[in-house]
Chain A
Amino acid sequence: MLLFLVAVGLTLIFGVLKVVNFSHGAFYMFGAYFAMTAYQLTGSFALAMLSGAAGTAILGLIFERVFMSRVYGRDVLMQLLVCYAFVLIFDDVVRMIWGPEFKSMGMPAAFQVPPLFIAGGVVPPYYLLLIGVALAAAVILGLGLARSRIGKVIRAAAHNPGMVSALGINTGLIYGGVFALGGMLAGLAGALAAPVRSLTPGMGFSVLIESFIVTVIGGMGSILGALIGALLIGLIRSFGSLGFPLFTEGLMYLFMVIVLVSRPTGLFGKEVA
Chain B
Amino acid sequence: MTRTRKPGVSRRSTLALMGAGAVTFAAPWVARAQAKTIKIGMPTILSGRVAQLGTSSRNAVMLEVEKVNAAGGLAGRQIEMVIRDSKGQPQEAARIARELVNTDGCEMLLDGEASSGSFAVHEVARDLGVLCIHTCSEASSLTADPKQHIPNAFRCVRQGIHDSIVGAGYAAGIAKTKGLKKWATCSPDYAYGRDTTGEFVLYLKKFAPDVEIISESWPKLFQPDYTEVVTKILQAKPQALYSCLWGGDLTSYIDQANIYALFTQMEVFAVNMADYTALTVVKNLPKGIHSGDRYIKTFPATPENAAWGDAYKAKYNEYPTNWSWQNATAVMFLNEAVKKANSTDGKKVAEVLTGLTIKCPFGADGTVTMRADDRTLVGYAIGWGTTIPQEPYVPDVKAGDWKTIFELEAEWKKSKGYT
The residues of A with any CB-CB pair to B shorter than 8 Å are: 2, 100-107, 111-112, 114-115, 121-122, 124-127, 193, 195-198, 200, 202-203, 206-207, 234, 237-238, 240-242, 245-246, 248-249
Contact = CB atoms under 8 A, between A and B. Distances in A.
A114 B220 CA distance: 27
A245 B259 CA distance: 23
Interface stretch (B3-11, B228-236, B326-334, B402-410): B228-236
B79 interface: no
Given A107-B284, A111-B259, A124-B260, A100 B216 contact: no
A103 B248 CA distance: 8
Contact of B220 (A193, A197, A249): A249
24 contacts: A2-B225, A100-B47, A102-B251, A104-B252, A104-B255, A105-B283, A106-B284, A107-B284, A115-B259, A121-B231, A122-B234, A124-B259, A124-B260, A196-B255, A197-B252, A197-B256, A198-B252, A198-B255, A234-B227, A238-B227, A241-B229, A246-B218, A248-B228, A249-B220
Contacts of B228: 237-238, 240-241, 248
Interface stretch (B49-57, B65-73, B87-95, B129-137): B49-57
B264 to A, nearest CB: 8
Nearest to B189: A246
Query: When A and B form their complex, which 3 residue pairs have the shortest distance between CB atoms, in order from nearest?
Result: A106-B283, A102-B248, A198-B248
B216 A103 contact: no
A107 B251 contact: no
A186 B234 CA distance: 30
A196 B216 CA distance: 22
Nearest to B223: A206
Contacts of B260: 115, 122, 124
A188 to B, nearest CB: 16
Nearest to B230: A122
B209 interface: no
Interface string B60-87: 0000000000000000000000000000
Contacts of A121: 231
A248 B252 CA distance: 20
Interface residues of B, number: 37
Contacts of B232: 241-242
Contacts of A115: 259-261
Nearest to A114: B261
A245 B220 CA distance: 11
B222 to A, nearest CB: 7
Contact of A197 (B52, B217, B224, B261): B224
A101 B277 contact: yes
B387 to A, nearest CB: 15
Contact of A198 (B235, B281, B284): B281
Nearest to B265: A122
Contacts of B283: 104-107
Contacts of A197: 224-225, 252, 255-256
A200 B235 CA distance: 30
Contacts of A203: 224
Contacts of B264: 114
Nearest to B46: A100
Contacts of B227: 234, 237-238
A127 B260 CA distance: 10
A203 B248 CA distance: 11
Name the residue in B223, B251, B252 with the highest tally of chain A Cβ atoms < 10 Å from its Cβ: B252
Contact of B52 (A101, A125, A238): A101
A56 to B, nearest CB: 18
A74 B232 CA distance: 47
B220 A102 contact: no
Contacts of A114: 261, 264
Given A107-B284, A198-B281, A126 B259 contact: yes
Contacts of A234: 227
Contacts of A126: 259
B39 to A, nearest CB: 27
B141 interface: no
